[in-house]
Amino acid sequence: MTGTQKSLIKLLNSNPVTTDLRSVSDVIVLLRRKVTDNPQDGNLRLRLGTYLYLAGDLSGSATEMKRAVSINPEDYLAHIILARVLDLSGEEAAAELEFKRALQIKPDVAEAHYYYGESLYRRGEISEAVDEYRQAAKLNANDLNLAGLSQALLSARDLHGAIKAGRQAVSADPSSAIAHAVLTKALLMSGDYHCARRTARQAVLLDPTSAEGHMALGRALYATKEVNAAVDEFRCAVALDPLNAQARNDLGFALYGRGDLSSSVSELRLALRLNPHLAEARNNLEIALGGLTGLKKLPASN
């Protein structure tokens, strides 16, 4: 990848909470002027689409990415970013085609495998997601790719593999909040609550604006029966990332554990609206609805 391409990927992976929207808006205005003067410059449209994505304008971003692809059909990065934007917009079939096109053009790009794995994971296609994350980590063993692999392996019930990949993610970047958060989940599943709680607190310390870090700490606190503290952490996660279906699910789960059934059902319903493929939220909602009539109780930990 060129330096410009790497900078665009870095923008895609940046934390929206810490993004300076005023600066982003200024760049968008500047890029729109340049695109008006040079409408056939695919690289300009690629940059404009990336900044529109940062601003939360997925529709505008997709439009610019499609134009960039039409100008430069062999630009694999344009296909990758377009695929990601389409995926986040809920256009899964179109996103799938773009991911496959990007990988057909250049199969050895870790970012393409990572984002495709992320898309597959979100859709509940776990074994396929594991394959893509594994390929991404093979091409570039950084914290993000290894953390994705750890999370997918955990969902595939490969606890040993999940812990190993999680520890590798932390080793790859000891300052990565995401790596610590993912390792926390694997440690919780193994029953090592003390180590999980310590790892989760480190995630929050490393990046207080990381929703994943607060979710990890919330789960660790819930596992040690500190339900009210867990609810607070999950609320922090939701405040930081309101469209995070997993955060809504975790908050709903903890609210049920605290006895707030009505709020629990509301959060779990919203989690499913945000991601209809999230089986965990579907199961929890069924149990929570049963709880309203006294039929069922949620398990002690998630």
C-alpha torsion angle, residues 206, 211, 213, 214 (rounded to 10): 110
Query: pLDDT of 192-208, one tens digit each?
Result: 999 999 999 999 999 99
Say which residue, 1 or 251, is predicted with more confidence: 251
C-alpha torsion angle, residues 277, 280, 285, 288 (rounded to 10): 180
Instruction: Report domain extents, the chain.
Output: 1-13+20-107, 121-238, 242-302
Query: pLDDT of 139-148, one tens digit each?
Result: 999 999 999 9
Q: What is the pTM of this model?
A: 0.86
- Here the tokens at position 8 are 């665009």
**Fold for the domain defined by 1-13+20-107:** 1.25.40
Query: pLDDT of 243-280, one tens digit each?
Result: 999 999 999 999 999 999 999 999 999 999 999 989 99
The correct answer on CATH 1.25.40.10 for the domain covering 121-238 is yes
| Distance spanning both ends of the chain, measured CA to CA | 40
The pLDDT of residue 121 is 95
Residue count of the chain, please give it.
302
Instruction: Return mean pLDDT, the chain.
Output: 93
Q: Which residues of 282-294 are buried (b: 16+ CB within 10 A; e: fewer)?
A: bebbebbbebeee
The pLDDT of residue 298 is 55
Q: What dotted CATH number matches 242-302?
A: 1.25.40
Contacts of 9 (CB under 8 A, 6+ apart): 1, 77, 111
Between CA 253 and CA 257 the distance in angstroms is: 6
- Whether 15 shows a pLDDT value over 90: the answer reads no
Residue 25 identity (one-letter amino acid): S
